[in-house]
Amino acid sequence: MIYTELAQDTIYKIISTLEKGGGSELDRAVDEALRNLVTGFNTDQGLLWLILGDRLTVTSGFSMQGDSRPLAGLSLDAQQGTSLVLNFLSLGNSAIEVDRASSDWGALLKVSQDFDSQLVVALKARGLFQGFLTLQSRNERQWSADERSTLEKVAALLAVIISYDFDVQRIEQSSKAGHSAT
C-alpha cells in the first residue's frame, strides 16, 4: 500500500498534534488535516461531516477564504442525513465525486452555487459508518486516483481516532454517572 507524500505529511501532522495531549487536540488535529488537504490539493474547502444523534452535522472545516470553520454546525435533519448515507453506502464505493449534475447530492450536502465539484469519502471504523470527509472546489475538476487514495487514507485514520475519542467520552460519562449514583 503506497501513501502519497501528502497523505504521509497529513498523517504526520495529525499524530503530532494528538501527541501534545489534551481534550481539544482532536479538534486541532482535524483542523490541521483539513488545512493540509485543502492547501495540498489546491482546492477551496474541506469539511468533516459526522453523525451526531440522528443528524449529519459539519463539525470541522477549513476554507481558503480564511474562515477556519466555514460551515461548522450546519446539519441535515434525520431524513436528509439517512437518505444521503444510504445513497452513499448503496454505491459500494469508499469515495465518490459529486458535481452540479449530481442534483441529489448537491442539494443534500447544501453545496452553494460556488462549488462545482466535490470529493466525498466515508469515515468508517470497526465497520461503523461515522460520516464523511469532503473536499470542495469552485472549479470543475476530475479528482485523481492519488487524491482519492490520499483522502481515503486520511479519512481512515481520522475515523479510528474519532471512534476512539467517542469511546473514551462514553467511558468517562459512564464513570461519572457511576460515581454520582454512589
Each residue of 32-87: pLDDT tens digit? 999 999 999 999 999 999 988 888 888 888 888 876 555 666 777 788 788 778 87
Going by pLDDT thresholds of 50, 70 and 90, the confidence category of residue 93 is: confident
Tell me what pLDDT residue 84 has: 79
Tell me what pLDDT residue 104 has: 60
pLDDT tens digits for range 113-157: 577 888 999 999 988 889 999 998 888 888 999 999 999 999 999
Residue (of 123, 115, 118) closest to 97 by Cα position: 118
At 59 the three-state DSSP class reads strand
Q: Is 126 left (phi over 0), alpha (psi -120 to 50) or beta?
A: left
Compute the half-sphere exposure of residue 6: CA atoms within 13 Å on the CB side of its CA: 19
Q: Which domains does the chain have, with CATH numbers?
A: 5-163 (3.30.450.40)
